[in-house]
Each structure stands twice: as C-alpha cells, then as structure tokens.
Structure 1
Amino acid sequence: MKTPLRAMIIVLLLASCGGSSTSPPRDLDNACSILKQRPDYHKAFKKAERKWGVPIHVQMATIHQESKFVGDARTPFRYVLGVIPMGRQSSAFGYGQALDATWDEYLVAENRRGARRDRIDDATDFMGWYKNITRERNGVALDDARNQYLAYHEGHTGFRRASYNSKPWLVAVAAKVDARSDMYEQQIAGCRLR
C-alpha cells in the first residue's frame, strides 16, 4: 500500500473515532455539568437570554425534552405493515426539533439564511424568537416553562385553542419540562461558571 493512501486511511479512521459535535453531553440531569462540558452551549444560552429574555434554564429544559441535547435528532420513521418505511413522523430536526415550515419562517423573519437547526447557537436563537412570539400572541411569560413548552409543541394557534387539553400525555410532559426547568435553575444558581 502506498504511503499517501495509508496516511489517508489512518486519518479517516482517527476522524471516525472522534465524538460528534451533535452528540449529547454526559449527565443530562446536571445543568452545571452540561454547561462545563460544553462551553459553547453556555455561550449560546447566554446570548439567547440577552437577546430574547428567555432564561437559560427554560431553554435547557426545552432542548432536553425535544432532543436530549442531540444536535441532529430526528423523529422516528413511520412504517406500513410494520416493515415498509414511509418517512419520518414529522420534519422536526435538530436541538429544538423545529419543523421545516416554522424554521423557514424564522430564517426569513430574522434574516438568518445560513442558520442551521443542528448548531446550538442557531437553535437557541430560534427558540428565543419562537418563545417571544408565544409571549406576544398568547401572553405566556418567558420564564413559564410549562406553558411555553405547550405552545412550542402545539403551535401558537393550537395553544390558544388549548388543543393540549385533549392530550393528557402532553400535559404530563409539559409538567416534566417545568420541573426540569426548576431543577436546572437551582443548579445553575450554584454553578461556578466563567
């Protein structure tokens, strides 16, 4: 085997062993650990908080629920007859599981044509934008993790119509997001971060 080919194979093998930038941090129940492991997350959360007013702990709890901090998360496939794949359950993708149409609306509204759902800084900016629209249209406070999550999941119109009331499982999920937000808030208050 020639030396350049051997070198290329070694480089590719080493590159494949590295962690993905979209892989989740360890210990998702510890906000301090997440923010220390991923300083880029902390920077993105702080930037979105300054720009949009959405507290870091609310952003983190939403992302935990939506993707468990997996940057390239997608919804599962649907199958016909249990074996024939028929596409994904929705177009949701990335940290915040933004749908294609909503993401496209954000890109135009914020003039962010190069933004990507699998980059944490873009995902948190999207989340701040969306949660502010929820506040404007539905009067939901930015620190109200429960109702912000319900509006995030159901859409602004669905939230206004209280469509979540016919989905007890979603109301339970929103309560978990709220509890996680409170937990993260308490943890962050004791963190020693730069």
Structure 2
Amino acid sequence: MNRAWNATALRRHGLLALFAVCLLALGGCATAPPRNSEDICQVFNQYPEWYDDAHDAQQHWGTPVNVLMAFVRRESGFRQKARPDRPWFLFIPLPRKSSAYGYAQVQDPVWRAYRKATGGHFKSRTDMDDALDFVGWYTDRIHRQLGISKWDPEHLYIAYHEGIGGYRSGHWRHDRHLLQTAAEVARRAREYGAQLKQCEKHLRCRHWYRLCH
C-alpha cells in the first residue's frame, strides 16, 4: 500500500515538475520582432497568425488592420516585452516613468479597465492577439467619446497617447513632438494600407473556411 502510494506521489511530483519546466521554457521564448517591419506583407508572412489577430480585432471593434498594426509598430517596434527605459542616477536604477508594457505599451490602470470591461482576466500585454484587441477596444472608446473616425490614425493616436481626458484638454496642440509622432503613425498606416492591398487576399485565403473574392 505504501509502495503504491509512494509511486503515485512520485509520478504526480514528476508531472508537476515537468509542467513547471514547460512554463519556464515557454516564458523564455519571446517572439522576435519581424525582420522587416517596414512592409506589413512581410510582417504577416513571417507571423501569419498576427494577420488573423488583427483581422479579428477589426471585425470586433471596427478599427482597420493597417491602423492597428501602425499603432503597435510605433508603440513597441513589435517587441513583445517592451517597457519604457529605466533612468539611472550614477549606478543606481530608478523607477520607470510609466507602467506601459507589452506590444501596445498599455499602462496598468487602463489595462485593468480593459480586462474588466471585456471579462478577459487571463489576457496578456505580451500576447499579440490581446494587444491588438486592446487597441481596437480603446480606439472604439475614443471614437464613441470623442467622435474621431477609426480611419483617422493621426488623431486616434493622439488620443491613444494622451488619453481621452488629455485629448479633450487640448494641450496636445502645443506638443510638437507628439504632433510629429502622430503624423508619422498616420503615414505608416497609409503605407501599411497600400501594401496590404497587395497581399491581403493571399492572407485571407490561407483558411479554407473564408470566402475569397
């Protein structure tokens, strides 16, 4: 009896140890940024599941794929675990100026609001699917509360960066750097949109259940 119990316990502990090792291995395998982030077709060819994630977010929230991807490109450079730089005083690391994290550089308070609103308690800022869904959700809020078109990446990005209250305050009109950044995001979105016209049919037709025209 004791021998059988010991064998069962050993198997159980062995399975738990194996599970822990798998989790550690997965956690250490971060997705590398695309080799060429200038071309959205090459990005999606390298990571075809990202197209599916962006397409799903567009279907759900209405923000175009090219706009979603331009935001992520600007916010993190497609780096999975991106964070703001940590300032240093001599050799002492100081706290980061922001809690922004992940593909979409989402700060802790708004991420909590997103998870509460969508019921996604297991969502992660380092998962592209969740990051794109967040951008879709937040730009939808911007559209509903500020009236900014989801096809206007320049002003969408300003509101994304400043927050809805910050956009309403109008202080961004005097922030030259932010205005230049928003214009760059808009340019990137236009380029991605033009590129996507050349490859989207191929991307959509990878799945047999999608109708391709």
TM-score range for the pair, normalised by the shorter chain length = 0.7 to 0.9
Contact 1:22/1:72 (8 A) holds in 2: no
CA distance in structure 2 between the partners assigned to 1:54 and 1:43 by the alignment: 14
State the match for 1:113 in structure 2: 121
Gap regions ≥5 residues in structure 2: 1-24, 207-213
State the match for 1:124 in structure 2: 132
Gap regions ≥5 residues in structure 1: 1-14
Matched, 1:39 2:48: yes
Q: Number of paired residues?
A: 179
Q: Give me the TM-score of the superposition, normalised by structure 2.
A: 0.80
AA at the equivalent of 1:41 = W
Q: Give me the TM-score of the superposition, normalised by structure 1.
A: 0.88
State the match for 1:57 in structure 2: 66
Q: How does 1:131-142 map to 2 (within 5 A)?
A: 131-142=139-150
State the match for 1:174 in structure 2: 182
CA distance in structure 2 between the partners assigned to 1:140 and 1:22 by the alignment: 33
Structure 1 or 2, whichever has the larger Rg, is 2
Q: How does 1:80-99 map to 2 (within 5 A)?
A: 80=89, 82-99=90-107
Quote how far apart the aligned CAs of 1:164 are: 1.2
State the match for 1:12 in structure 2: none
Structure with the higher fraction of residues in helix conformation: 2
CA distance in structure 1 between the partners assigned to 2:170 and 2:117 by the alignment: 26
CA distance in structure 1 between the partners assigned to 2:80 and 2:65 by the alignment: 17
